[in-house]
């Protein structure tokens, strides 16, 4: 992941985040809860032709993009969504999820903080994209992007089914931390040598002319 966003806040009573889909940086997304309690609600269809997914089916038949107004764009609207397509996951300190929220409608309900010094804390790990590329693909929902999301979903499904997808152990985290520290030191040393070489060249450089 190229970006880690820290979300910290206090709520005195339950508060619901507006329903939404993430941008392209959340094609792969790791959410980590460190404090407080929150519930992630996702609207999930097992297939594009699933019963109740009327807007998408109609659009596909006409060769058009799904209508965002007619579509299932509010997971808090239980008159719009069938219960079987809504999935609630409670997040407590230590809870982690890996998903692709670029692909589906979702929202979070934050429970009230019991104490003023125990805020809601969550880390959102996402891809980091160059600004020009990010702006270009952030809301792209085309056939090409469908191919990308299909590859990601297939890889996640295969990794889960084979037991290859897991959280790192504490020792592995420490090893990763040590490796990053070593790489930082090596880069700092490389830059130091570059600066010294440039300074030496400037010191030994002969003037092009004499005034």
Predicted confidence at residue 166, as pLDDT, reads 87
For residues 131 and 64, the model is more confident at 131
Instruction: Give the pLDDT mean for 83-105.
Output: 93
pLDDT 10s digits, 167-211: 889 999 999 999 999 999 999 999 999 999 999 988 888 776 655
Percent of the chain with pLDDT over 70: 88
Hey, what are 179's tokens? 């490796």
- How does the average pLDDT of the chain come out, rounded? 87
pLDDT at 55 over 70: no
- Burial zone of 53 (CB within 10 Å; 0-12 exposed, 13-18 middle, 19+ buried): buried
Hey, what are 62's tokens? 């006409």
Question: Cα 13 from chain centroid?
Answer: 26
pTM of the model: 0.72
CA distance 95 to 201: 55
Best CA proximity match to 103, nearest among 66, 153, 63, 60: 153
Q: How many CA atoms lie within 13 A of 188 on its CB side?
A: 6
User: What does the CA dihedral 35, 159, 3, 89 come to, rounded to 10 degrees?
Assistant: -30
Instruction: Give the pLDDT mean for 104-117.
Output: 88
Predicted confidence at residue 69, as pLDDT, reads 44
pLDDT at 70 over 50: no
User: Please, are residues 118 and 36 in contact by the beta-carbon 8 Å criterion?
Assistant: yes
Instruction: Give the pLDDT mean for 49-63.
Output: 57
pLDDT at 56 over 90: no
Residue written as token pair 């997304």: 29
CB neighbours of residue 120 within 10 Å: 22
């Amino acid at each position: 992941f190229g970006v880690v966003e820290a979300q910290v806040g206090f709520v005195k009573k339950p508060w619901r985040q507006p329903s939404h889909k993430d941008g392209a940086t959340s094609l792969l997304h790791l959410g980590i809860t460190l404090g407080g309690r929150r519930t992630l609600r996702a609207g999930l269809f097992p297939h594009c032709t699933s019963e109740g997914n009327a807007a998408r089916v109609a659009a596909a038949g006409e060769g058009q993009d799904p209508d965002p107004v007619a579509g299932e764009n509010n997971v808090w609207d239980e008159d719009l969504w069938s219960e079987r397509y809504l999935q609630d996951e409670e997040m407590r300190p230590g809870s982690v999820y890996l998903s692709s929220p670029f692909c589906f409608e979702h929202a979070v309900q934050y429970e009230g903080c019991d104490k003023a010094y125990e805020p809601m804390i969550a880390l959102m790990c996402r891809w980091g994209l160059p600004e020009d590329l990010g702006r270009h693909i952030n809301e792209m929902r085309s056939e090409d992007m469908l191919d990308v999301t299909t590859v990601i979903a297939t890889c996640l499904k295969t990794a889960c089914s084979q037991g290859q997808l897991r959280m790192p152990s504490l020792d592995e985290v420490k090893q990763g931390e040590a490796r990053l520290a070593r790489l930082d030191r090596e880069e700092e040393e490389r830059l130091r040598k570059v600066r010294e070489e440039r300074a030496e060249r400037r010191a030994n450089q002969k003037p092009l002319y004499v005034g």
